[in-house]
Every structure is written in C-alpha cells, then in structure tokens.
Chains A and B, each alone.
Chain A
Amino acid sequence: MSSRVADRSGKQTGFERAAALAGGTAQARGRAGYGLVSPGLVYLLVFFVLPVFTLLATSLYVKPPGAEVGQFVPALEFGNYAIVLGGYWSELLRSFGFALLATVLCLLIGYPMAYLIAVRLRGRAFVQGLLLVLLIAPFFTSFVLRTQAWKQILADEGFLVQALKTLHLMPQGASLTATSVAVVAGLTYNFLPFMVLPIYANLQALDHRLLEAGRDLYGSDLTVFRTVTLPISMPGVLAGTLLTFSPASGDFVNAAILGNNRNTTMIGQVIDSKFMRVLDYPGAAALSFILMVAILILVTLYVRRFGTRDLV
C-alpha cells in the first residue's frame, strides 16, 4: 500500500502535510486566518524560535582558560559538535532504536485499540467513552509516578517476572528491571495514548458506507480492512507515529528510572546530566541541537516516504 501512495507525496512539503494532519486545510481562509494564527505565531517566536537561537549560540561557547565549572564565554567553537558526537553517538543511536521499537509496539497495540473503539463499538457511545477515559485516565497521575509503577510491575518479585519464570519463558537468574526491555516497555506504555488518539480520531470519521461498498464489491472483511480502512486511516497512523517517536527519542525519564547506567542510557539522560550535573552547557546545547536536527531529518524522510495525500 505504501508504495502506491508514496509516489504522489513528493510535491507536498512537510509543513503542508502537518497542516493536513492537524485537520485544517492548508489554505487559511482570507485575512481572518492570519489574524487567528498571529497569537500562536508570536508565542512560538518568543518561546521557541528565540530559545532555539540561544541554544545554538550556547552550543558554540567555549570555556576560557582557568574558568570555574559552568563558566563559559561566547565563541564560535564548532568543535563542540565533533566532541559530543564522538563521545555520545552510541547513546544517540540507542535513543532512536528504543524510540523506533516503542513506536512500532505502540502501533501494534494502539491500532487495534483505536479500531475497536472507533469502528467496532460505533454507535455505543457509553462503552466508547468509557474506554477512552480508561485510555487517558493514567495521565491524571504524574509521568514519573507512572514510570515508577512500572518498576514495581517489572520487579523480580513482581507477578510478571514470577509468571514468566513459572512458565519457563524466562531464565531463573534473569530479571527485567534495569534492562533495555524495561526501558522500551516504559516508553511504549507512556506514549501509547499519543498513538491511539490520532488513529481513533481518524477512524471515528471513517464513513461506514465505504466499508459496505467494499463488501458489496466482493471484499471480505479482511480485504476491506486492507484496501479501504487501513489506507484511509494512514494520516492518523502518520500523526500517531510522529507524536510517539519524536518525544520518545528525546525521553530521559524512562531510561533513568527503568534502565541502568551501562547499556540503556538514552541521549536525553546525557543532555540532562550535562545541563544539571556536569554543567557543560555548550555540550548539552550541542547534543540538544543534534537531537533536534536528527529528529527533523528522520521525520522528514519518514513523511516523504509514507505521507499520504490529504484525504478530503
């Protein structure tokens, strides 16, 4: 399916597609449109564009000879980038690897959930509402607390590990805490709603008569899903994967709480520690910038490859 949609997506920019994903038509209607977006633009300018430039400037600072810890002066030291890239490329790669795994897992778990709520339970508003509330309810507690809870779930004496060991699906000496599995599980759990909600919103709008037309035209339920439902829901999948992948690759809470300090370190942790503990501001800023650009490149490639045309 993707090859069929991909060849048409070349002409659209990522921004147009993002606008399409957000549900609006790209062409704002008249000047009123500009009036309505200007508060947002000002906000973005002050709190996003300017800080990005500050970040960029900071990443080029140097430590003057004999300076104290955390003391830097403005400069144009591009070597900072080479240093952090050389020192932390494995953490960077691992972050994207973990984020990719979590995104795929979120999609595999989230699509059926969204499909169940939006399509299978159509017309049963109460059950739909209940399931949506259950999906979002964990968000009423703190991110950190929820991640801590996963530590209990995955603990050696927890029911999961006990059950797996009883079933001999896990060696007796092994444990789940402080492993890559735990970090990916935490990421998957924490970002699942970001996958489900856009897909749900998309499937909710799916015209049920299209499915009937598909069945009428000799498509079995599975065929209709493959040829009608799934392609039409691709904008939702695209939005969901972006909303999951981008924050997951920069996340540091899951790796910090559920991982160890040897082979689960994610780039977010490195940045966090450089900013907060080591006080290497230029290094942290350079890493942040590298992460941002890398995500931007990955996302652009992804959208170019899989982006679907705005489906009226």
Chain B
Amino acid sequence: MGRLPATTSSETARGTVLARPEQQATEERPPSGGAELVLHRVRKQFADFAAVQPTDLTVPAGEFFALLGPSGCGKTTTLRMVAGLETPSAGTIRIGGRDVTSLPSYKRPVNTVFQSYALFPHMSVKENVAFGLRRRRVRDWKARTEEFLGLVELHHLADRRPAQLSGGQQQRVALARALVNEPEILLLDEPLGALDMKLRRQMQSELKRIQAEVGLTFIHVTHDQEEAMSMADRLAVMNEGRIEQIGRPEDLYHLPRTAFVANFLGRSNLMAGTVTGGGQGSGPLLEVDASGHRFAVHRDRAVSATGQVLVGVRPEKIDMRPAGAGADRLTAGWGINRVAGTVTDVAFTGVSTEYRVEVPGLGELGVFAQNRGGDLMRPGDAVGLSWDPAHAFGLDGQQDAAAGDDAV
C-alpha cells in the first residue's frame, strides 16, 4: 500500500466538516448527512428465544436516534443486525436505499462504537484509529487519523497502548476509530455505560456536538432513559423484542402510549378505572371512574375511549396543597381530578422533594414538588392533590400498571 508522507491536517487537500478554526475557510465538503436506515419486518430468533419480534423502523438521514430499553429487550440485537454482526431471521435492512441484509459487516457503510470499546490491545491509539482506513486502503489515512485524533483531543496519547488509557480516553479512541471512516451510519452500543456519572454527562454533550458537526446518522443503544432523552432527536422504547413507542423524547414523555413506556421513561402514577362518560361526540374530555374518584382525560390523549383504562399522570404534574387550603378553592369548581390523601414518605432530593401520598382506593401516588421555598410536608400530613386534565393520559386498561417499573 502506498504510504503518503505525513502531512499536517491543514495541508490536506480534502476539506472536512470537522475542520478546526484554521481550516474552516477551505471547507469543501458539506455535512454528508449520513444515510437513512430502514428496517422492514426484521426479526431475530435465537435457538429458543425470540430476541427481536418483527420490527419496522425508519431512521431518517442525519438523525440522532436512540434505542432505549431494559437489558434483554432486543435493542443490542437490533443494532448488531444493522452492523452485520448478526443475521436477521427474516426481514430486510436498507441503508441509504440499498439492501444490505446479506452483506457481511466489513462491506457495510456502518461503524460501531462497542460497549466494551473492543480496542485492539496490541496496537497503539494511532494504529487503532487508522485500522479501518488502512483496510479500505484510503490514501490519506495518516492525515485523517491525525485529524480525528484531534477531534477527540487525543493527539498527545497517539502512541500509547489502549491499556495505558483511562476509561474516558479509551471511549474517545473507540469513537474516533469508528468516526474516522465516515460511515453512513454510526452505531453506538451503550458507549457510555462504563463511565462514571460526571464523565458520562460530559461525553453525552461531546457526542451531541460531534454528531452535529459530522452530521451522520447516529443510532445509540442505551438503557439509560435520561441519556436517551437528553441526546436523541427521536427514540424508540423497546421491550421484550418489540418497539413499544417511537417519537421525540418530549412527546414520549408527555404522552406515553403503553404502561411500559409510562413507567420506564420517567415515572408515572397509573390508576385503573372505567370510562363512564364523554364517549363519541360529547366534547373533548373522557370521564373515568376509578374506585369512586372521578378523573378527566383528553380523548386524544387516551389509547381507548371505552371500558377499562389506566389513567396516568406524571408525579411532577400533580399539585399538592395542605388539606383545606387553597387547593380546594382552586379546584372546587370541577370536582374532578382531585383527591385527598395522607403523606406517607418524604424524600428531599435538592431540586425537588419526592412525596408518597396514600389515597384511599387508589393506593400510593408519587408527587414531585419543586423546592421553591416554604415548608415541606411531613409524613402524616393530610393533603389535597389535583392536576390539569391536559396532563393526564389514558392507557389500555388490560396492561400491567407496574410494567417497566423496575426494569433496568
């Protein structure tokens, strides 16, 4: 293979979207935008275990997409099928319109940042980063390796072995090793899982910055809902081999469509009830009776408009007042979405205080109150709870209200 003399990145003919300041004037390459990923009825069956149920998924070019779910939900298997490290039992995978289902992984325009980084221990940092370029016999591999080492700020460690680096540094090498190939899709398999919390937050914003700069399609697999929500443009929540719901993080959070999503993405109070009024054509609100309590839910926020439903409301959407205080006056007019209870547990977390409130007939509800001065409630205090019907959502009453509660 012809080896070019080492050049500094400012000398490279090839402009780059990753240009550092001195290069920006010569930028020639528009953000590539990566490629669109389409899964059509993709399924994966291991010997006695259906890892992924038939799944359809479309990720537009240039999107930061997250696959979120507990361990064993099929998210990593899905990712590995896109990478070509697993063969789907059925279905087709298209990248940029091209069917890659039967392509071996080394022929796919896709690179992966592995969970354990999987850096080659016998190679230096530089050799690791150059690996993909050299396999494809890219002519200016030396310059591009330098360039991407710069992108992840590892120039000074280029000749070290992976074992001599910290976890965060190894993570950046893994990232550079994948990105340097400018794949159409970058796959990230729990890439931040091994980092401590602080480094994790730092790498999250770093990853977002890099994604914005290179403009590639990123598919990020994680079980950390905060990570998925804070990083992704859109995300899919997976459970037991199928996608439960896809959407923008805020949409999924505000309007979960299954009990699993409601509980796995943030926390929810789910209360079983029966639709008693407000059916077809009688206004925007459904009326639900739950153990004698009356709740209102917007019809278009409810999965079903008849029969058994779960009424959900997020803990931070609930207003809590001491019993007999203003709350009663405030909501006295409606007589709905208003319950009385007793505080059973108080956890002060700094930004907010998390209360557990026992409500007769409904069990314990969680309430998060912002700490904006004033006294905290104490266990045993009688309180009134209320919430805006616009914040409630209705789920299929057949679902397990505890689904996804303790999934990790």
Contacts and interface: CB of A to CB of B under 8 A. Distances in A.
Interface of A: 5, 207, 209-210, 212-220, 223, 227-228, 231-232, 308, 311-312
B106 A219 contact: yes
Interface in B158-175: 161, 163
Contacts of B178: 216-217
Given A218-B132, A218-B136, A212 B118 contact: yes
B3 interface: no
12 contacts: A207-B116, A207-B118, A216-B105, A217-B132, A217-B181, A218-B107, A219-B106, A223-B106, A228-B122, A232-B120, A232-B121, A312-B121
B122 A216 contact: no
Interface in B104-135: 104-107, 110-112, 114, 116, 118-122, 131-132, 135
A218 B137 CA distance: 10
B131 A212 contact: no
Contacts of B104: 215, 220
B177 interface: yes
Nearest to B130: A217
5 closest A-B pairs by CB: A217-B132, A213-B118, A312-B163, A218-B135, A209-B118
B164 to A, nearest CB: 9
B194 interface: no
B106 A220 contact: yes
Contacts of A220: 104, 106
A205 B118 CA distance: 14
A240 B399 CA distance: 61
A312 B83 contact: no
Contacts of B199: none
Contacts of A217: 106, 111, 131-132, 135, 177-178, 181
Contacts of A232: 120-122
A175 to B, nearest CB: 47
Contacts, number: 71
B85 interface: yes
A218 B106 contact: yes
Given A217-B135, A218-B181, A223-B135, A209 B116 contact: yes
A110 to B, nearest CB: 21
A218 B105 CA distance: 7
Given A213-B112, A215-B106, A312-B163, A231 B122 contact: yes
A214 to B, nearest CB: 8
Contact of A311 (B106, B119, B122, B181): B122
Contact of B121 (A212, A215, A216, A311): A311
Interface of B: 83-85, 104-107, 110-112, 114, 116, 118-122, 131-132, 135-136, 161, 163, 177-178, 181
A216 B104 CA distance: 9
A212 B86 CA distance: 10
A215 B111 contact: no
B163 A216 contact: no
A262 B177 CA distance: 60
B195 to A, nearest CB: 18
Q: Pick from B104, B131, B163, B178 the residue with the most CB of A within 10 Å.
A: B131
Nearest to A312: B163
Given A207-B118, A232-B121, A232-B122, 10 more contacts: A209-B114, A210-B121, A213-B119, A214-B131, A215-B85, A215-B104, A219-B106, A219-B135, A220-B104, A312-B161
Given A227-B131, A308-B122, A312-B121, A216 B112 contact: yes
A231 B123 CA distance: 10
A273 B118 CA distance: 56
B106 A216 contact: yes
A219 B235 CA distance: 31
Nearest to A232: B122
A125 to B, nearest CB: 16
A214 B116 CA distance: 14
A210 B128 CA distance: 11
Nearest to B131: A217
A216 B84 CA distance: 8
Nearest to B180: A217
Contact of A216 (B111, B116, B119, B136): B111
A216 B85 contact: yes
Nearest to B138: A218
A213 B121 contact: no
A300 B121 CA distance: 25
B24 to A, nearest CB: 29
Contacts of A228: 120, 122
Contacts of B105: 212, 215-216
B83 to A, nearest CB: 6
A216 B136 CA distance: 12
Nearest to A233: B122
A5 B122 CA distance: 9
Contacts of A227: 131, 135
B142 to A, nearest CB: 16
B219 to A, nearest CB: 13
Contacts of B112: 212-213, 216
A201 to B, nearest CB: 17
Contacts of B110: 216
A208 to B, nearest CB: 9
Contacts of B132: 217-218
Nearest to A219: B135
Contacts of B107: 218
Contacts of A216: 83-85, 105-106, 110-112, 114, 178
A216 B188 CA distance: 12
Nearest to A220: B106
Contacts of A212: 85, 105, 112, 114, 118
B403 to A, nearest CB: 32
Nearest to B83: A216
Contacts of A218: 106-107, 132, 135-136, 181
